[in-house]
Structure 1
Amino acid sequence: MSYNNLAVWACLPRTQRGQPIVLGVDPKGKKLLYANGNSVIIRDLENSSVADVYTEHSIQVNVAQYAPSGFYVCSGDQHGKVRVWDTINPEHILKAEYQPLGGPIRDLCWSHDSQRICVVGEGRGKFAHVFMMDTGASVKGDLSGHTKAINSVSWKPTRPFRIATGSEDNKSAFYEGPPFVFKCTKTDHTKFVQSVRYSPDGEKYATGGFDGKIFVYNGKDAELIKEMGSPAHKGGVYAVSWSPDSKQLLSASGDKTCKIWDTETGEMVSDFVMGTEVEDQQVSCIWTGDFVVSVSLSGFINYLNPADPSKPKKIIKGHNKPISRIGLSPDRNTLYTAGVDGTVTVWDVATGDNERISGKGHGNHVSGIVVKDDIVFSAGIDDSVKVIDRLQNGYTGTSISLGSQPKMIASLDDGVICITTKEICMIRDNVKVGSFPVSWDGLSISTNGSFSNEVAVGGQDNLIHIYTLDGNTLTEKTTLQHLGPVTDVAYSPDGQYLVACDANRKVIVYSLPGYEKFNRMEWGFHNARINCVAWSPDSSMVASGSLDTMIIIWSMTQTNKHIIIKNSHPQSQVTGLVWLDNERVMSSGHDGLVKTWNVKF
């Protein structure tokens, strides 16, 4: 019995309106570093479907940066802790953990020799701290000069050492050292200074602020050299990043544009108009090697093309919020994932390439998804079922009102059946054609395909209600007792079994047609509520995913054996499971990640 992780499809950066995010990159310029929740994502810039994830923080991570040596990453979180961990081993072994600040860390940087780290953010009267990477010992000096939280910091990459910071007091500060001594503050900005970055050659540094202005200063003595534009942007500047040759500067703004500036003349070289919607605001950017990258408020990662500013070379899409449901196409080549924010993403199973479903969707939590040959049905807590055209990758505009909140939908030969908080309803030809009121809250639903006309519905009342469906009429046949709310049910592909899972940590298989317990047994190795179950295509295995972060593979032929995938989505519950074939299962989690697993008994 064995398992291994075949692929990780990464989530997007977690964004928030009015808040810049910080991107990092490895010294070779090949990997992008960003945070989402308590995860740090290491994403290959060349092949964006390849990613690695670090999940050892217990709270939201705000920033992560590679050491210039490339051997370590330092990441800082909302509680003021930093963790220094290695990048060589797949396990990312922890080097050290420190608590330099008493509040959220907003930015950090390394000295060019990879020995010292400077962190900035909020604290109890202290907004910045420099310490030794190995020991955590404080590097002596005075990092005063700001009266409010510091948003950004940059370390001069050449000697003599200098540090520049930007703060919510509308000032940037300049320090000489070590030991670092406060030298001066610059008051050119009139609003929050959100980004400060030294050029790769150390000769200059740039600041960007919410006043839309960008200033370039001398890297050694902080003398003002030039302002870019007048002002540079019509909205706040969220981030600036230097070109590898230190001659040009990339900026990202809330005015929904990115721009490239010639720092010698102060003139704009390229103007990237990213869109017209609020979600098109640009909240971060980075320039590394041949890659010019920005991040939209939607979380999309844009590969900009300086040779053709009219459109990005490529846009990486996906989820930056938790995934709620997943569904697999009948040919098993396409995966659909739905998020708690109402977004739906379609993935190519072979390559990991994805696209966001366009058009007017639910706008909030998607609670059910059914994939058919040419269309997809989605149910949302806006009390509706909507239709997606698989060829166009967009909503058709069809919306079927349900009258109450749907919890899950299942496929019928010519439509779908939906369980809501008040009823079970049938939808055929995009019309609600039947309704069966219930007095209990439904949680899950499954149909037995073409094998029988039976429908299983799991309820908050700890029962599975078995119905016979005749046209648009339901007749209750029997009920099956559980010791907790029945969170998911699924008929087997061969029509011979029904599997159910519940909040009491049990997985139970029933044999049809009598619905007796298979082998008179229950499976119960999970430690918390089980969220989802799924059958392998040959009906020989069941996969279950739980709040306890585990996936367990159960065998129908060797009922006393099982495969436990611990921490399948570390610090995150498993929200969805589908089988690609009899050896590969895909999972989604509250961490926004999609993973592929190979399992063998």
Structure 2
Amino acid sequence: MSYSNKYIFASLPRTQRGQPIVLGGDPKGKNFLYTNGNSVIIRNIENPAISDIYTEHSCTTNVAKYSPSGFYIASGDQSGKIRIWDTVNKEHLLKNEFQPFGGPIKDISWSPDNQRIVVVGEGRERFGHVFMAETGTSVGEISGQSKPINSCDFRPSRPFRIITGSEDNTIGVFEGPPFKFKMTKQEHSKFVQAVRYSPSGNHFASAGFDGKVFLYDGASADLVGEIGSPAHKGGVYAVAWKPDGKQLLTASGDKTCKLWDIETRTVISEFVMGTQVEDQQVSCLWQGQYLLTVSLSGFITYLDVNNPEKPIRVIKGHNKPITVLALSPDKKTVYTGSHDGFITSWDSKTGENDRIEGKGHGNQINGMKAVDNFLYTCGIDDSIKQVDIATKTYLPTDVKLGSQPRGMDIKGETIVAGTVKEVCVVQGGRKVFSLPVDYEPSCVSLNSEHPDVAVGGALDQKVHIYAMTGANLSPKLELSHLGALTDCTYSPDGQYLVACDSNRKVILYKLPDYQLAHNKEWGFHNARVNTVAWSPNSLLVASGSLDTTIIVWSVQNPAKHTIIKNAHPQSQITRLVWLDNETLVSVGQDCNTKIWEISSI
């Protein structure tokens, strides 16, 4: 068997309240950049379903920027490391790695000749540094500001200048090379969050938490005037220039974005992004004809200049780890649910997505399955909820369980849920049977052909098989493992049960007597196996693990398997599901959804 990665449905930017994020634009106009966790996401601006992910940082990345030539990207992380890597090769070969200071890097800017880089942030010994991209040699110093620096920019034309915006409410101006402190500008009364030169370098704009935006002369740094009075009712997180330098886009915590005319310094149009806290705007980018903004929820909105009321498109998804995965009955839609309780529906062919509306669990979802026209979910709010697939909204159905559910499965009208204290049966929207247990169920599977129910135990390391008659469960037999059970599932044809555990093993049982199906041990994972999934023809089993690896096993030829190494680099695989006999979907702690083609040789 061989495999290839067909699509990546990428995560959204990781956002934090009160923190701006920085988007990077591609000088060739094709992609844009943002970060989430250890990853730098490179996303196609025309078709956001096309994306690439760079995962070589060993800790949280904060910012990534293209070099003006477009051939390299510099990315900075929480520890103060800068990695400069190649954009042309698929492997993204590392060109250089430097440590300009110890502490989080918040912004990066390249000089227009691709030779120098300025980085700023919250270093222990300094808040910024300018160095040569080739050698890392210092070309001046960023000093004169007393608190962490949030933003920096290189003047795109000569004579070179660098500007920085700091939490001491000042803008620093530096001349060079070598770069020396020239002056500070003190127009802002709160943190300066963004400073950006116009594309020609004739002006620069600054934005702060005081809601104000100021315009300065690009060469002399003299104040030209204030834009708006003030520009926004809340803090301004980001500014972006139109490519011709005649207009400016601002993004604010007051949940609006505004478009300004530079000559008159008056507002052209206002984009009201919503009324909820998560509609605060924390970043913006103007690239070619595209105007992008990012809200606190992580959603990326493409603004329509001609119609401020309605955006061109909104990219939704997840920016927290994905914990559950399900398919619509027609296999055309993939549902993913995350640690923060949100569910996203994805078109499995195009990657077009939408978020399920309505009152959900509000916290981690532990189980999800679609049957007929409904999607059922269980979460750590101790309840089972129902989503109408057609309208993509939660229904009022809310079945309270006695304790936290860890897994569930559905057959016809019957839901069986395994909670920390009991195994319960739900029919007609209410709990009709409860079996108290002390082994902490971790997973549940119902056999489609026989009245058997398998429940995995986290504490006693056993699979408990029950016979189901009506709504009652009666113990049938137990299968012992050497580690806590993490997942178990019956094959679609009802002939097999596969179970996986924390002891790195995947074990296949043959029904009806639950004997081992073969004497080959499926034990090639290096860490806990989190999930197992059957192909629709019951011939292949896929397993995903804490070791970032997916393994596809053959039932007919147990010695044969395919290992997808680093399927989600630096991130455990949390769930798997098969779209068809040759297409596998995986989700992980990295908030990404990947679609794989598995072909038999």
TM bin (shorter chain)? over 0.9
CA offset at residue 522 of structure 1? 2.3
The residue correspondences of 1:76-475 to structure 2 (distance < 5 A) are 76-139=76-139, 141-449=140-448, 451-460=449-458, 461-475=460-474
CA offset at residue 582 of structure 1? 1.1
| Secondary structure at the counterpart of residue 360 of structure 2 | coil
Q: Give 2:447's aligned amino acid.
A: N
Write out per-residue CA displacement over residues 522-563 of structure 1, whole angstroms, 9 at most, x where no aligned residue.
200000000000001111110000000000000011111110
Are 1:9 and 1:593, in contact at CA under 8 Å, matched by a contact in 2? yes
Write out per-residue CA displacement over residues 82-104 of structure 1, whole angstroms, 9 at most, x where no aligned residue.
10000000010111111001110
d(CA) in 2 for partners of 1:15, 1:426:
39
d(CA) in 2 for partners of 1:54, 1:69:
19
| Secondary structure at the counterpart of residue 518 of structure 2 | helix
d(CA) in 2 for partners of 1:445, 1:343:
22
d(CA) in 2 for partners of 1:116, 1:320:
32
Aligned to 1:492: 491
d(CA) in 2 for partners of 1:408, 1:136:
52
CA offset at residue 580 of structure 1? 1.2
Aligned to 2:68: 68
Q: Give 1:247's aligned amino acid.
A: K
The residue correspondences of 1:537-556 to structure 2 (distance < 5 A) are 537-556=536-555
d(CA) in 2 for partners of 1:415, 1:150:
57
Are 1:502 and 1:531, in contact at CA under 8 Å, matched by a contact in 2? yes
CA offset at residue 431 of structure 1? 1.5
d(CA) in 1 for partners of 2:141, 2:471:
76
Aligned to 1:530: 529
Q: Give 2:10's aligned amino acid.
A: A
| Secondary structure at the counterpart of residue 577 of structure 2 | strand
Aligned to 1:566: 565
Write out per-residue CA displacement over residues 155-177 of structure 1, whole angstroms, 9 at most, x where no aligned residue.
00111100000000010111111
How many residue pairs were aligned?
599
Are 1:383 and 1:402, in contact at CA under 8 Å, matched by a contact in 2? yes
Write out per-residue CA displacement over residues 98-149 of structure 1, whole angstroms, 9 at most, x where no aligned residue.
100111000000000111110000112311101111111111x232110000
Aligned to 1:3: 3
Q: Give 1:180's aligned amino acid.
A: F
| Secondary structure at the counterpart of residue 279 of structure 1 | helix
Write out per-residue CA displacement over residues 194-226 of structure 1, whole angstroms, 9 at most, x where no aligned residue.
001110011000000000000010000100011
Are 1:415 and 1:430, in contact at CA under 8 Å, matched by a contact in 2? no
d(CA) in 2 for partners of 1:197, 1:397:
48
Computed over aligned residues only, the root mean square deviation of the Cα atoms, in angstroms, reads 0.8
Are 2:321 and 2:590, in contact at CA under 8 Å, matched by a contact in 1? yes
Write out per-residue CA displacement over residues 458-513 of structure 1, whole angstroms, 9 at most, x where no aligned residue.
01110000001111110000000000001000000110000000000000000000
d(CA) in 1 for partners of 2:78, 2:414:
46
Aligned to 1:501: 500
| Secondary structure at the counterpart of residue 109 of structure 2 | strand
Q: Give 1:398's aligned amino acid.
A: T
Write out per-residue CA displacement over residues 358-392 of structure 1, whole angstroms, 9 at most, x where no aligned residue.
00111110000011120000111011111000000
Are 1:509 and 1:522, in contact at CA under 8 Å, matched by a contact in 2? no
Aligned to 1:23: 23
| Secondary structure at the counterpart of residue 278 of structure 2 | helix
Write out per-residue CA displacement over residues 312-369 of structure 1, whole angstroms, 9 at most, x where no aligned residue.
1110000011100100122111110000000000111111111000001111100000
CA offset at residue 598 of structure 1? 1.2
d(CA) in 2 for partners of 1:335, 1:494:
22
CA offset at residue 415 of structure 1? 3.2
CA offset at residue 49 of structure 1? 0.6
CA offset at residue 600 of structure 1? 2.3
Q: Give 1:217's aligned amino acid.
A: Y
| Secondary structure at the counterpart of residue 350 of structure 1 | coil
d(CA) in 2 for partners of 1:98, 1:50:
30
CA offset at residue 520 of structure 1? 2.9
Are 1:508 and 1:521, in contact at CA under 8 Å, matched by a contact in 2? no
d(CA) in 1 for partners of 2:262, 2:232:
15
Aligned to 1:38: 38
Q: Give 1:405's aligned amino acid.
A: Q
Are 2:128 and 2:141, in contact at CA under 8 Å, matched by a contact in 1? no
Q: Give 1:255's aligned amino acid.
A: D
d(CA) in 2 for partners of 1:182, 1:519:
73
d(CA) in 1 for partners of 2:33, 2:493:
45
d(CA) in 2 for partners of 1:25, 1:426:
52
| Secondary structure at the counterpart of residue 520 of structure 1 | coil
Q: Give 1:277's aligned amino acid.
A: Q
Are 2:101 and 2:125, in contact at CA under 8 Å, matched by a contact in 1? no
Q: Gaps spanning 5+ residues in structure 1: where?
A: none
Are 1:22 and 1:107, in contact at CA under 8 Å, matched by a contact in 2? yes
Relative to structure 1, the CA distance from residue 349 to residue 142 in structure 2 (aligned partners, 3 Å threshold; closer, same or farther) is closer
d(CA) in 2 for partners of 1:555, 1:521:
11
| Secondary structure at the counterpart of residue 580 of structure 1 | strand
Q: Give 1:123's aligned amino acid.
A: G
Are 2:130 and 2:141, in contact at CA under 8 Å, matched by a contact in 1? no
CA offset at residue 29 of structure 1? 1.9
d(CA) in 1 for partners of 2:201, 2:228:
22
Are 2:129 and 2:141, in contact at CA under 8 Å, matched by a contact in 1? no
d(CA) in 1 for partners of 2:293, 2:85:
26
d(CA) in 1 for partners of 2:181, 2:246:
28
The ranges of structure 1 where at least 4 consecutive aligned residues each deviate by more than 6 angstroms after the TM superposition are none
- The alignment-based identity, stated in percent, is 59
Q: Give 1:458's aligned amino acid.
A: G
The residue correspondences of 1:505-516 to structure 2 (distance < 5 A) are 505-516=504-515
Q: Gaps spanning 5+ residues in structure 2: where?
A: none
Are 2:506 and 2:522, in contact at CA under 8 Å, matched by a contact in 1? yes
| Secondary structure at the counterpart of residue 526 of structure 2 | coil
TM-score, length-normalised on structure 2?
Answer: 0.99
Are 1:153 and 1:165, in contact at CA under 8 Å, matched by a contact in 2? yes
d(CA) in 2 for partners of 1:302, 1:600:
37
Are 1:207 and 1:215, in contact at CA under 8 Å, matched by a contact in 2? yes
d(CA) in 2 for partners of 1:97, 1:408:
44
Write out per-residue CA displacement over residues 287-332 of structure 1, whole angstroms, 9 at most, x where no aligned residue.
1110001001000000001111112111000001110010012211
CA offset at residue 30 of structure 1? 1.9
Q: Give 1:195's aligned amino acid.
A: A
